[in-house]
Amino acid sequence: MELKPLRYHYEKKYRKIVLNLPVFDKILKHKDANAHIVANTYLHVLNTAYPDFLANYNISKLKKIMFFIRSKLISFVRVLQSIFNGEGYYVHKKRNKVDVLFISHLTNKNQIFSGKDPYFGDLSQQLKSSGVISGVVLINHLKMSKRQILSGFDSCKQPYFVLSHNMGLADEIKMHFAHNKSKKLLVSILKKLGVSGCLKRDILRNYFSASTFGTLRIAKQISAIVKETGARYIVTTYEGHAWERLTYYYSRQVNPKIKCFGYQHSAVFEHQHAISRPLKSQYNPDVILTSGKVSFNVFNEKDVGSKIILLGSPKYLSLGDGFVTNKDCCLVIPQGEITECLLLFGFSLKYARQHPYQNFIWRLHPLLTFDKLKRHTRIFEGLPSNIVLSCDSLEGDIRKSDSVLYRGSTAVIDAIRLGLKPIYYRHSSNELSIDPIYQIDSERDIVCNAEELKLSLNRGMTQENMLHLQDFVKDFYMPVNYQALLGELKLLK
Q: What is the pLDDT of residues 394-412, one digit of tens each?
A: 999 999 999 999 999 999 9
Percent of the chain residues topping a pLDDT of 90: 58
pLDDT for residue 1 is more than 60 = no
Distances from the Cα of 260 to the Cαs of 129, 200, 233, 329, in angstroms?
A: 22, 32, 6, 45
The CA distance from 260 to 241, in Å, is 15
Distance of CA 186 to the CA centre of its chain: 28
Collapse the DSSP code of 33 into the 3-class scheme (helix H, G, I; strand E, B; otherwise coil) and give the result: coil
Residue 212 counted as domain residue: no
Angle in degrees, 0-180, between the axes of helices 169-192 and 197-207, rounded to the nearest 10: 160
pLDDT digits (tens, 9 = 90+) for 97-113: 899 999 999 887 777 76
Residue 283 banded pLDDT, cuts 50, 70, 90 = very high
pLDDT for residue 260: 97
Collapse the DSSP code of 8 into the 3-class scheme (helix H, G, I; strand E, B; otherwise coil) and give the result: coil
Residue 172 counted as domain residue: no
The CA distance from 220 to 22, in Å, is 28
Residue 404 counted as domain residue: yes
Residue 424 counted as domain residue: yes
> CB-based contacts of 257: which residues, under 8 Å, 6+ apart?
232
CA-closest candidate to residue 352, choices 450, 446, 262, 226 = 450
Residue 377 counted as domain residue: yes
pLDDT digits (tens, 9 = 90+) for 326-365: 578 999 999 989 999 999 999 999 999 999 999 999 999 9
Residue 389 counted as domain residue: yes
Domain that holds residue 419: 329-476
- The average pLDDT across 128-140 equals 89
Residue 401 counted as domain residue: yes
pLDDT for residue 467 is more than 80 = yes
Could you give the number of structural domains in the chain?
A: 1
100 neighbors 190 (Cβ within 8 angstroms): no
Whether the CA torsion 237, 238, 240, 243 is positive or negative: it is: positive
| Residue scoring higher pLDDT (61 or 492) | 61
pLDDT for residue 92 is more than 80 = no
pLDDT for residue 367: 82
- The average pLDDT across 31-53 equals 89
- The average pLDDT across 245-269 equals 96
Collapse the DSSP code of 22 into the 3-class scheme (helix H, G, I; strand E, B; otherwise coil) and give the result: helix
- What is the separation, in whole angstroms, between the first and last Cα of the chain? 61
The CA distance from 395 to 417, in Å, is 11
What is the domain-level CATH number for residue 450? 3.40.50.2000
Residue 476, exposed/middle/buried by CB under 10 A (0-12, 13-18, 19+)? buried
166 neighbors 78 (Cβ within 8 angstroms): yes
pLDDT for residue 176 is more than 70 = yes
Angle in degrees, 0-180, between the axes of helices 197-207 and 210-229, rounded to the nearest 10: 40
Residue 460 counted as domain residue: yes
pLDDT for residue 86: 63
pLDDT for residue 84: 67
Residue 40, exposed/middle/buried by CB under 10 A (0-12, 13-18, 19+)? buried
Collapse the DSSP code of 90 into the 3-class scheme (helix H, G, I; strand E, B; otherwise coil) and give the result: strand
E strand or H helix that includes residue 388:
strand 387-389
